[in-house]
Amino acid sequence: MELDDFGEALDALVSAGAQNFGDCASIESLHRELSRFEAFVTEATAAFEASEEWAAEGAKTAAAWIATRCHLPRAVARRRVRLGRTLRQLPCCTEAWREGQIGTEHARALASARRHRTEHSMARDEPMLVAQACELGFEDFERVLDYWKQLADPEGADDADEARRARRNVYLESSYSGLWLGQMTLDPVSGSIVSAELNRLERQLFDADCAEAAERLGRRPRIDELTRTSGQRRADALVEMATRSAAAPADGIRPAPLFSVFVGYETIKGRICELENGTVLSPSALVPWMDSAYFERAIFSLGGRVDVSVRARLFSGGTRRAIELRDRICTHPYCYEPAENCQGDHIEPYAQGGATTQENGRLLCGFHNRLRNQRGDRRERPPPSPVAAA
């Protein structure tokens, strides 16, 4: 097939009108074909680099030629050339990408995981990793790949975590107009601590804004009728954090827990360790926190564990905590709302006799909980396998 033929087929598709391909099946098919085409372009780019035809025009590298002639950012051209080069060592990944079973980001993640110290492990485990990429959502696949990197290159994982911590930085300066401008970069654990408290205070401010607007309007307000935006509430929450810090004694008792980490037998035996939000850590990243750590045992699937009552209307106490640790995010397949923003929902509705137990509970964000009650939408994502104790 000539490229002219491909261009004519693409012209025909465009002429048919994009609006005629706005259904679910067409969008899924279009993205699959897009992945296949990106795989083909990347392989062709690798062949172009190997041919050295670019050198005849005075280009120093294939990436320089592509960036100039194809009007791409140099960084994008370099990444594509580098990915094409690495694909030669990843036959399973290449085949799956070529078939549209995985996408560009999967291929990049696999390629970045293949380093000098992991090449032998990658040669052995590539089929397993590609199978996971084909089966899981991308975020879940990233977590699997992070675990694999922990086991395949423990020293490299420790070095990477130390490098992440070393990149922490906060910039806050007054501008010429009197406004304060800033930027924040935190390591996973520190970021989890700050984010959790910031979100907690922002939710309190949101509830206060909703109550004020309801009293002012005499009805349930819309989001755009609140006096503050989400960004403004977060700014006010940050000021509140600073105010409370200044008011607290330096030797005061600190609240706990500040963050949750999933560990278990695998951590003791090997290197399985992650934050509640799914970020994978090397165990060495927890060393600075061990003196103040609390350990909480979470046991799942006890055949109807009850902490309050099977007829309690709301999930609370240990039952609620167990569901949070098990599900971590909204269980609707199209949602990734974190546990702290979700509600405990009865799988078998409470009104129909559903028990308030772990087995009959799940996390749903407010939107999907209402959707389920309004439309009977019962779709859900299988919960992530709990690492063990948190």
Mean pLDDT over residues 175-184, rounded?
91
Q: In the predicted model, is pLDDT for residue 1 greater than 80? A: no
* Beta-bridge mates of residue 329: 338
Sorting pLDDT into bands at 50, 70 and 90, what band is 370?
confident
Backbone angles phi, psi at 275, to 5 degrees: -75, 165
Nearest by Cα to 260 from 197, 195, 192: 192
Residues 77 and 68: their CA atoms lie apart, in Å, by: 9
pLDDT in tens, 186-210: 998 899 889 989 999 999 999 999 9
The three-class DSSP label of residue 83 is helix
Mean pLDDT over residues 273-285, rounded?
80
Residues 76 and 68: their CA atoms lie apart, in Å, by: 12
Q: What percent of the chain is modeled with pLDDT above 70?
A: 88
pLDDT in tens, 343-357: 999 988 888 888 888
Mean pLDDT over residues 17-30, rounded?
94
Residues 102 and 85: their CA atoms lie apart, in Å, by: 18
Looking at residue 374, what is its pLDDT?
A: 73
Q: Out of 61-65, 230-234, 303-307, which region has the weakest mean confidence (pLDDT)?
A: 303-307
pLDDT in tens, 4-20: 888 999 999 999 999 99
pLDDT in tens, 44-91: 999 999 999 999 999 999 999 999 999 999 999 999 999 999 999 999
Mean pLDDT over residues 127-148, rounded?
93
pLDDT in tens, 106-119: 999 999 999 999 99
Residues 239 and 180: their CA atoms lie apart, in Å, by: 12
Nearest by Cα to 387 from 133, 189, 143: 143
* Residue 316, token pair as written in the block: 């609370």
**Do the beta carbons of residue 343 and residue 329 sit within 8 Å?**
no
Q: What's the mean per-residue pLDDT of the chain?
A: 86
Q: Out of 53-57, 145-149, 376-380, which region has the weakest mean confidence (pLDDT)?
A: 376-380
Q: In the predicted model, is pLDDT for residue 312 greater than 50? A: yes
pTM of the model: 0.75
Burial readout 280-298 (b: 16 or more C-beta within 10 A, e: otherwise): bbbbbbbeeeeeeeeeeeb
Looking at residue 322, what is its pLDDT?
A: 82
Q: Out of 98-107, 146-155, 305-314, 373-382, which region has the weakest mean confidence (pLDDT)?
A: 305-314
* Residue 219, token pair as written in the block: 């009805």
Mean pLDDT over residues 249-274, rounded?
71
Residues 103 and 31: their CA atoms lie apart, in Å, by: 9
Q: In the predicted model, is pLDDT for residue 305 greater than 60? A: no
Looking at residue 389, what is its pLDDT?
A: 34
Q: What percent of the chain is modeled with pLDDT above 90?
A: 53
What structural domains does the chain harbor?
A: 18-152 (no CATH), 169-247 (no CATH), 296-390 (1.10.30)
